Amino acid sequence: MRYERPETLEDAVGLLSATPERSHILAGGTDLLVRMKNDDFDADLVVDIKRIAGMGEIARTDAGFVIGAAVPCAKLAEDAALVAAWPGVVEAANLIGSTQIQSRCTMTGNLCNAGPAADSVPALVAVDARVKIVGPEGNRIIPARDVPVGPGQTSLAPGEIVAAIVLPEPAPQTGSAYLRFIPRTEMDIAVVGTAVVLTRDADGTVASARVALGAVGPRVIVPDDAAQMLVGTTLDDDTLARFEAACSDAATPIDDKRGTVAFRKEVAGVLARRAAKIAYDRAGETQ
Amino acid sequence: MSFDASYNEKELNAVGTRPVRPDGVDKVTGRARYGADYNMPGQLVARVLRSPHAHARILRIDTSQAEALKGVKAVVTAADLPDLTDGDASLFAILDNCMARTKALYDGHAVAAVAAIDVHVARKALKLIEVDYEVLPHVVDVDLAMAPDAPVLDETIITKGVTPAPDAPSNVFAHSEFGHGDVAAGFAKADEIVERTFKTEQTHQGYIEPHACVASCNSDGSAEMWVCTQGPFVYRQVCADLLGLEVSKLKVTSSEIGGGFGGKTHVWAEPVALALSRKAGRPVKLVMSRNEVFRASGPTSATSIDVKIGATKDGTITAAEATLRYTSGPYPDTWAETGAMTAFACYDLENVKTVGIEVLVNRPKVAAYRAPSAPMAAFAVESAIDSLAHKIGIDAVDFRIKNAAREGTRSSYGPVYGPIGIGPTLEAAKAHAHMSAPLGKNQGRGMACGFWFNFGGQTCTDLNISADGTVTLSVGTVDVGGSRASLSMIAAEELGIAYEDVKAGVADTASLGYNDMTDGSRGTFSSSMATISAARNAIAVMKQRAALMWDIPVEDIEWKDGQAHAVGASHDNLAPLSVKDIAAKAGNTGGPIAGHSELVADGAGVSFGTHICDVEVDPETGATRVIRYTVIQDAGKAVHPAYVEGQYQGGAAQGIGWALNEEYIYGEDGRLQNAGFLDYRIPVCSDLPMIDTQILEIPNPNHPYGVRGVGETSIVPPLAAVANAVSDAVGVRMTHVPISPPRILAALKAQR
């Protein structure tokens, strides 16, 4: 197995293109290093992208917050502007693993690992994040939602690298929140994850809403019908009850070691309702 | 030399204090050497090939390609571990579990192993081993395994303990029965009866350190092994038996141990490592991965238990009955029998009957886990007791106090109790502030009792006095919970010297006589008895040396406060001689000074505990938090109270994990789905409150200081204490452990 640490994205793409099979990108390594310990793990090439300029930086541009692919999740929480703009994303990213893991793991890694239970992915989808992809055929920008296509599968072509995640600037009076269910208090993986982003009008009614459900389907589920129920309301109890039921209905989980279908559907609704209330309150606190 | 072990009340100076443990610095600085931290020149790396099938006949194993791979030094299969067990069924089960012979009996069962120059070659070699399996139907559930149409694991098993004997083979190895009186007559007298079925899922001890060893077989028939174990002498015996080695030619050294809890009382891959070393002619290191630890070592039984208890309106239990079905993995064992013995041990019952049923399933061979088999039985019984108390409208603590066993009670498993602690722990619980603290919304409180036998066993200890008067204590029981500290305290107490002047260590099998392993809460109980005996023997020697130094009769010498005193009018002007004084002259008075002890530590006093638990349950998600927890247990005499408290807290923490989240989850294919700490959920620190403890000291009459074992009982009550608390919080009786959030929500839904 070869370990390479290129200094440019072009070199990284070149290395990966030359070894399209059995090659891996290393940033935080919190998924890859665990897999490498398995007896059945085989790799010919590992490309460490941490030395590439900009990979470890958060930049605020006209497009919004550009978060380099190797930015550890802990660093997100240290960026006051980002925390103020998208608390739902930062809190989701900082639920992953332990404090030690958070200082290594990255949102891009979380996205490209394509685990259905990834915590940061519903939060990214709810804020309609984009990703910058560089590859042998050129660069492209796609919605974060379109990166994972199924458990462990991404839409990235051989040789392509996600270079950054871009979060838009939030509209005024926008709030975001992420809640997950785990049987423990920390160091666990989501049985259900729910992200809500909503923007208030001046009169306090919801102007727009976007909801994303994680761990209840092979990909993140975006129940637009449920989100639309919140628009034009102030989240009264009746609305929230209908919203909760709609989110439960939208969830398409499986029975597995982490939970049952019935449990996950029910809890998806409960957490979506709770997240909506938090997002609504946060929207009221912003300018 | 004869040794009187009976309890003798006296003032103790070192015992009961809380000094720093001698192994602490090495552990916190990373210098302590665990199983994987030992290396030998020329050492090879071993990896094990494991069955992906829950039940399969092994038709063919072809290792030729693996053997031909450059860097591979040995490949072994069952053919390299010939059957030397000579009809000993339990030894054969260990052999077959180490390496499958004709059938793979569970997902993870070893079928071959390789030793290679490094891990990469070893992994590659595993992939080159061809195994042809005939996949057979499997069964993993305890109740389904007893069904008439269940696939039978072993066609030679005809249920023992039932008359007439069945004529067909089944997965039920044996029935065992305990009790006395007439339960039918007892139930006829009852005003209220509770009858219910409970289930518990299989759990793992969850020790943080995986199994690890370095084995080295020499061409002259000698061998040595460095290994993480709770019992080097037992490992030596079992490995020697399985490999045909002479016991004294196999030297086993125990490493520091990162948790055992019973799981390291059984051999797993150690005989395989020895077989690889024998074949390769080089030392072999074998370290199990976490995945292997879960799939192929140490789980508990999964159980299904029927309980029936009846009482009169005044709160007197008139009869109690239980049928306990325990899985033993794919081999016969006696785990249900132990459950049947412990189930009602806390109570004074006129009519009681328990039946234990041992059930074979396609899961790993069951191993001991801290008071093995008792927590599940206590879960069922203490849940039913709780229900019955509610039904007759009596306080749950008062109900237990009224029916608690006491000195003179004939226990449900036979023996008559001496002085015991169940009543006092219950009285302490009743008086505890926790019991009357207010509860908030969605909160509930539960309590439960637990029992464990405790064990003594064969023990051997050497106490050597150095020329400077400091003391080396060599013990044969592995230190799993701070026993080097407590045994140093005991030596200091007997000799009358400072704790800091005693250095205790765990000896290897070539340096000390046979010791049973550290199990049955025996480490401090039995080795302290042997240490007291060895110290008294050393004192006898020192008195003789003082007599020589003074040239007076030994009868005129008394040992007091760590010094030899000349007594009698004619010796008044002789200044006392300290251990240091006597040790300094040892070369001129007869040579090295030592005290030895070999004994069987009989009379390990039975142990009881009572736990109180508060939980808060989110009724919308089933999420449960333990918000307060109190352990009250009888220690006989707490030698090092901080470590006794640690044992109480550790058992409670493990029991809480078992109660709420821990379980083996199998897929339809019989494969384990959660072989890792991500999805096998032991509690993390933030899941637990600070666990409050209260030590009671009801002296054990069979130990000079009154010591009882304390390590295991604390895991017995938590399953029931948590279940009773959750049931109180949600208003539904929870009967299936772990009481996971999906089970809670499902129970709430069923009630609505």
pLDDT tens-place string over residues A203-226 = 999 999 999 999 999 999 999 999
| Percent above pLDDT 90 for chain B | 98
Average pLDDT, integer, range B690-701: 97
Residues B98 and B50 both lie in one domain? yes
Residues B441 and B496 both lie in one domain? no
The string of pLDDT tens digits covering residues B8-29 is: 999 999 999 999 999 999 999 9
CA atoms of B51 and A174, how far apart (whole Å): 54
Exposure b/e, A248-260, CB count within 10 A at least 16 = b: bebbebeebbbbb
Average pLDDT, integer, range B523-528: 96
Cis peptide before B576 (omega within 30 of 0): no
Nearest by Cα to B723 from B198, B192, B194: B198
Q: Provide CB contacts within 8 A for B371, sequence distance 6+.
A: B342, B450, B452, B651, B712, B713, B715, B716
Interface of B with A (CB under 8 A): 47, 123, 126-127, 289, 291, 620-623, 625, 660-661, 665, 673-674, 678-679, 681, 683-684, 686-687, 740-742, 745-746, 749
pLDDT band at A39 (very low <50, low <70, confident <90, very high): confident
pLDDT at A20: 87
The string of pLDDT tens digits covering residues A224-244 is: 999 999 999 999 999 999 999
Chain B residues with CB under 8 Å of A256 CB are 673
When CB atoms are compared, the residue of B621, B684, B687 closest to A267 is B621
Average pLDDT, integer, range B429-439: 98
In a domain? residue B170? no
Helix ranges (DSSP H) in B268-349: 270-280, 290-296, 335-342
Picking from A42, A119, A182, A184 by the largest number of B CB atoms within 10 A of its own CB, the best residue to mutate is A184
Residues A121 and A258 both lie in one domain? no
Sheet containing strand A130-135, edge to edge, reads A58-61, A64-68, A161-167, A130-135, A138-143
CA atoms of A273 and A37, how far apart (whole Å): 40
Helix ranges (DSSP H) in B404-466: 422-431, 433-436
Residues B214 and B342 both lie in one domain? no
Rg (CA), chain A: 19
DSSP letter assigned to residue A119: S
B496 strand-pairing partners: none
DSSP one-letter string for B457-525: EEEEEEEEE-TTS-EEEEESS--SSSHHHHHHHHHHHHHT--GGGEEEEE--TTTS-----S-TT-HHH
Nearest Cα residue in chain B from A180? B621
The string of pLDDT tens digits covering residues B561-573 is: 999 999 988 887 8
Residues A20 and A155 both lie in one domain? yes
- Domain holding B613: CATH number? 3.30.365.10
Nearest by Cα to B743 from B622, B618, B613, B659: B622
Q: How many domains does chain B divide into?
A: 3
pLDDT band at B298 (very low <50, low <70, confident <90, very high): confident
Nearest by Cα to B632 from B335, B467, B426: B426
The string of pLDDT tens digits covering residues B334-392 is: 999 999 999 999 999 999 999 999 999 999 999 999 999 999 999 999 999 999 999 99
- Provide the residue type at A146 as one letter: D
* Cβ–Cβ below 8 Å for B742 and A260: yes
pLDDT at B571: 84
pLDDT at A287: 53
Question: Is there a contact between B492 and B472 (Cβ–Cβ < 8 Å)?
Answer: no
Chain B residues with CB under 8 Å of A191 CB are 741
**Chain B closest-CA separation from residue A268 CA (Å):** 9
Residues B83 and B125 both lie in one domain? yes
Chain A residues with CB under 8 Å of B289 CB are 37, 39
Nearest Cα residue in chain A from B623? A183
Q: How many domains does chain A divide into?
A: 2
Indicate the residue among A167, A198, A216 that finishes a domain: A167
Interface pTM, i.e. ipTM: 0.95
Residues A207 and A149 both lie in one domain? no
SS3 state at B333: coil
pLDDT at B396: 97
**Chain A closest-CA separation from residue B365 CA (Å):** 22
Q: Provide CB contacts within 8 A for A279, sequence distance 6+.
A: A88, A175, A176, A177, A196, A197, A198
β-pair type (A130-135, A161-167): antiparallel
Residues B584 and B701 both lie in one domain? no
Question: Residue B2 above 80 pLDDT?
Answer: no
| Percent above pLDDT 70 for chain B | 100
**Chain A closest-CA separation from residue B292 CA (Å):** 11
* Cβ–Cβ below 8 Å for A256 and B673: yes
Residues B248 and B103 both lie in one domain? yes
Average pLDDT, integer, range B649-655: 98
Nearest Cα residue in chain A from B689? A185
CA atoms of B516 and B232, how far apart (whole Å): 9
Mean per-residue pLDDT of chain B: 97
Q: What would the two tokens of residue B389 be?
A: 């108390």
Question: Residue B1 above 60 pLDDT?
Answer: no
B564 strand-pairing partners: B559, B577
pLDDT at B678: 93
* Cβ–Cβ below 8 Å for A256 and B621: no
Q: What would the two tokens of residue B569 be?
A: 């009018």
pLDDT at A40: 80
* Cβ–Cβ below 8 Å for A183 and B123: no
* Cβ–Cβ below 8 Å for A260 and B741: no
Residues B358 and B465 both lie in one domain? no
When CB atoms are compared, the residue of B127, B623, B742 closest to A259 is B742
The residue range of the domain holding A95 is: 2-167
Nearest Cα residue in chain B from A261? B742
CA atoms of A278 and A180, how far apart (whole Å): 13
When CB atoms are compared, the residue of A183, A189, A267 closest to B661 is A183
End-to-end CA distance of chain B: 71
**Chain A closest-CA separation from residue B615 CA (Å):** 14
CA atoms of B531 and B527, how far apart (whole Å): 6
Indicate the residue among A104, A132, A167 that finishes a domain: A167
Chain B residues with CB under 8 Å of A181 CB are 621, 623, 741
Nearest by Cα to A215 from A257, A156, A278, A155: A257
Q: What would the two tokens of residue A280 be?
A: 């609504």
